[in-house]
Amino acid sequence: MGLYAKHIFPRLMDWAMSGEEFQRLRSELVSQASGTVLEIGLGTGLNLPYYSRQVTWLHAVEPAILLPKRLAQRGKNALYPIDITRISAEILPFDDRTFDYAVSTWTLCTIPDPVRALQEVRRVLKPSGQFLFLEHGRSEDDKIAKWQDRLNPIQNIIGCGCHLNRRIDQLVQQAGFSTTELDRFVMQTVPRLGGAMYRGRAFRGD
């Protein structure tokens, strides 16, 4: 991992993704989770302060080590045990039907094989389990979507693997989930290329 990916990008990401609008969106989503919870792509732990008392165990998977001191600080007051496994979400080391909830925020843009990861998330959810997601992706506005396509290769480099133009709803569907709630909106404090949002709730669908 180069200097930029190891030292500069995590700080930029942490700063850019901890603003007021991000915090509000994170807390609204993450606070819905309860019981045993899986978070994919923990990053610098920006969601940790928003999990509720109803969470009994949080297991996070994250392949990179990003700002470990900030991560520890954010998890310090958690009322639930936290386990972090340094792996990619495409192969999850958990038994089938383990989790009540799975959570993903701004992660499906970066996972190299998002459908594979989502299939794994679906596998480890209980039959009644729910997958909560809050992700940026392809815009509904054709002009912006075209610019997302053009600039995607550059974003891929500066965003350490991030894609601007993924259809998150289609990825969730391709993995076999049935999506019961999907809200598409545009973030106010983010440039429009990266602010087209997909927020939803999906079930195993079997």
The rounded distance, in Å, linking the Cα atoms of 45 and 67 is 9
User: Binding residue for ligand SAM (CB under 6 A) from 9, 13, 59, 165?
Assistant: 13
- Give 15 or 128: the residue with its C-beta nearer to ligand SAM: 15
64 is a contact residue toward ligand SAM (CB under 6 A): yes
- Give 17 or 151: the residue with its C-beta nearer to ligand SAM: 17
- The label of the residue with tokens 């990266």 reads 194
142-152 in b/e form (b: 16+ CB < 10 A) is: eebbebbeeeb
User: Binding residue for ligand SAM (CB under 6 A) from 36, 43, 135, 166?
Assistant: 43
CB of 142 to ligand SAM, least distance (A): 25
155 is a contact residue toward ligand SAM (CB under 6 A): no
- On whether the CB atoms of residues 181 and 124 are closer than 8 A, the answer is no
Report CA Rg, the chain: 16
Judged by CB under 6 A, the chain residues 69 through 128 that form the site for ligand SAM are 88-90, 105-107, 110-112, 117
User: Binding residue for ligand SAM (CB under 6 A) from 25, 46, 55, 164?
Assistant: 46
Q: Tell me the number of residues near ligand SAM by CB under 6 A.
A: 22
The rounded distance, in Å, linking the Cα atoms of 206 and 71 is 36
The rounded distance, in Å, linking the Cα atoms of 133 and 147 is 24
137 is a contact residue toward ligand SAM (CB under 6 A): no
Characterise 160 by phi-psi region: left (phi > 0), alpha (psi -120 to 50), beta (else): left
User: Binding residue for ligand SAM (CB under 6 A) from 30, 62, 102, 125?
Assistant: 62
> What tokens does 112 get?
């190299």
- Give 110 or 130: the residue with its C-beta nearer to ligand SAM: 110
- The label of the residue with tokens 């190891």 reads 6
Binding site for ligand SAM (CB under 6 A): 13, 17, 40-41, 43, 46-47, 61-64, 66, 88-90, 105-107, 110-112, 117
